[in-house]
Structure 1
């Protein structure tokens, strides 16, 4: 089923199959469900022709992978980036299916996007692209069938253009996209949700495994990659709680506080500068003109910092290599949780999981993105609920619901990891359950059971 030109999807499938091995050996009847769930229910691929500011036609490829609807309407973002291809979108949709299951909300899994690059484009060019993209996508989505959202390259501006194009084309106002503006159907806390949810999940990991690393302490040093929405709000939440943020990064390099963490970390004002810069399409390198910062071109932060307690990859897939994982362990890292999807390579995950299996106070505990970053899609689900009721919940209400969802997700992963990691109960030896196994097995069981109830396998 896996094509040789789909490396990202193959990686995601291999990770799941390894985690599921003990469960499938004990429950062989689920092997057929695993075979079936690998195949998307539908893949839509289309061309997008739009006009640039010089009046010339430009063309891009558009996609929507509708992976699994057993638990609800397809739900997942639209990525606009030159790297977008079917392998990446299949991996993202596959992961999204199980991530959405872990939220406890009624959402299936999907993903879409285009190889269009918003960087360097004018507002009018982006608007014309979005209108053309939605002209085809609108035929395949709906509030009860498929509800896309934002992702890399698709922020509030793009969601606005896409929603407007859908509304004009279909002549109806429905909650067919999430991530909308707060004054026209969006939810409070949605921009913050992935980053905030990541920290809420990590707080549970800290409480169980390393309580001395409380994020209320300035001595707790947190390395973050990325500088987009997820990284920004992850950093702001750490700073709000009292921890020290050591790094941010972009595709060109890493931004550190001069002294590499020895002179404190990023302030709220620093992160707000980054937010403003990224809104304008700028590079972090321009901030290095300030002597407080140090910019290291061509490198991610993981090998640059002498001391890291918590590492939070928040940029894109495969952004932590095996070598970088080893460097993090040498720097004293005890918790790694993904804000990005499949942020760690298989080699990096093996390094972290081997450390966990050794047990003891120096072991590393790793959380996969399908669990630790599910807060974003969870609040998207809450946005769908608000749209259906024509209500707007307060920031406090949404934040409280987000915290509860992340708590439940953590407990589900912990319980399933304790039962199905294939290692037995080693808690007496100080070995923590595998959150990787727990997330994969728990998410799979929920989707597979719904599919069986619907007659999708027997």
Structure 2
């Protein structure tokens, strides 16, 4: 599979040791495919076991979370925190509450986070956490009790200079508040141990919008560099109606695009004349976007979210969850005129879909680069907490734009140097790896 015998050997070891962890293996394979030429040029990588060390997390914490529901019945969930790499700084990565959370998703997310954080140029290591708990159908009291019991274990392993979690799927302002409140009570300190906090107790402006906004800022750079173009009048489709999808759609609209379709778990909505983003925002804040929007407007409502990828578009922004966009969907996009795909979620495209886009010369932005805006503003929040001084909205937004432009240029420059200018997957992997590799070499074998 790989030109490098060293990579082949390490990948076979991963297949054996991490058997039954398909998401993690997929992330490793995608990364290794970009590394072949780098390995042959740099023999120190093999000599010092750099790749073996990169694919093995520094620490993997698996714990039980026991909580009591509103009927007084004890419930049990699995909790996780993977601390993948601290070579660049404290572990940094979100907490995900979703039924799909398991060891494989935690390791893939932590692995990707390591390189995503490296691309920002900021001092952050990579980590991720979560549980197979779902807040759907749960009362506020049940969510609070679960979060508090999750933190009763997690607090031992995190800290402002050790590991700084944030939110992710299923973990919004409510959950962050409950988690932080319990940490503060246990430790008797009010520190910047979590990001994504409410503005009333140390959160940052632009944090909730950051991943979606940053995605569009990255795409804007792609359009400018590759096509001497802008968002103006481009048709855009967005999957997912959480924070990433919502704010990506809002920013794309603000930059002049026509958002023609969006999806959620109940299906998708499509209006060739463009969706009413004010109405989308109003409904999304209350949940059930596609059902309620279609009911209010009479627009096309498809009951299968995946069918949205059949809609004619110029730009596709998958912002929901890993592996949501497969080869069949990629073929529909290309056949219907899509020329640019940018990942707002973590690894939302399957490996086969990625290869199809590249083979058909579709501009493609991998998530570890394109969706790094959220973690960048998380670091800004950490800085504000350390200073005990909040920054104004425009200052944070300007910093976010600058970070996303720098990330694009790092990926583009590495792609031109080592592969080809259009291979941003390799560009992102190589640029991130080189920073991590340099730090590992300087810090010695550990």
TM-score by length of 1: 0.91
Q: Is the 8 A contact 2:263 2:308 kept in 1?
A: no
Matches within 5 A, 1:207-226: 207-212=224-229, 214-215=230-231, 217=232, 219-226=233-240
Residue 3 of structure 2: aligned partner: none
Residue 270 of structure 1: aligned partner: 279
Match of 1:11 among 26, 30, 40: 26
- 2:391 is aligned with 1:393: yes
Q: Is the 8 A contact 2:283 2:292 kept in 1?
A: no
Residue 134 of structure 2: aligned partner: 117
Could you list the runs of 5+ residues in structure 1 that have no partner in the other structure?
A: 357-363, 424-431
Matches within 5 A, 1:27-426: 27-31=42-46, 32-212=49-229, 214-215=230-231, 217=232, 219-257=233-271, 261=272, 264-278=273-287, 282=288, 284-305=290-311, 307-356=312-361, 364-421=362-419
Report the Cα offset of residue 293 of structure 1.
Answer: 2.3
Distance 1:302 1:283 in 2: 14
Q: Is the 8 A contact 1:247 1:301 kept in 2?
A: no
Runs of 4 or more consecutive aligned structure 1 residues displaced over 4 Å after TM superposition = none
- Write out per-residue CA displacement over residues 318-352 of structure 1, whole angstroms, 9 at most, x where no aligned residue: 11111111111111111111000001100110011
Report the Cα offset of residue 251 of structure 1.
Answer: 2.4
Distance 2:28 2:42 in 1: 19
Residue 453 of structure 1: aligned partner: 442
Report the Cα offset of residue 294 of structure 1.
Answer: 2.1
Report the Cα offset of residue 178 of structure 1.
Answer: 0.2
- Write out per-residue CA displacement over residues 12-69 of structure 1, whole angstroms, 9 at most, x where no aligned residue: 0000000111111121322321121100000011000111011111110000000000
- Write out per-residue CA displacement over residues 195-235 of structure 1, whole angstroms, 9 at most, x where no aligned residue: 000000000100122234x21x2x31001111000000001
Q: Is the 8 A contact 2:236 2:257 kept in 1?
A: yes
Residue 20 of structure 1: aligned partner: 35
Distance 2:119 2:111 in 1: 13
Q: Is the 8 A contact 1:235 1:271 kept in 2?
A: no
Distance 2:189 2:315 in 1: 46
Report the Cα offset of residue 292 of structure 1.
Answer: 3.3
Distance 1:308 1:46 in 2: 44
The SS at the match of 1:190 is: coil
Distance 2:363 2:184 in 1: 45
1:105 to 1:301, Cα distance in 2 relative to 1, 3 A? farther
Residue 6 of structure 2: aligned partner: none
- What RMSD, in angstroms, separates the aligned Cα atoms of the two structures? 1.3
Distance 2:276 2:42 in 1: 51
Moved more, 101-110 or 28-37: 28-37
TM-score by length of 2: 0.94
The SS at the match of 1:139 is: helix
Report the Cα offset of residue 304 of structure 1.
Answer: 2.9
Equivalenced residue count is 429
Could you list the runs of 5+ residues in structure 2 that have no partner in the other structure?
A: 1-13
Report the Cα offset of residue 301 of structure 1.
Answer: 4.6
Q: Is the 8 A contact 1:249 1:301 kept in 2?
A: no
Distance 2:156 2:381 in 1: 22
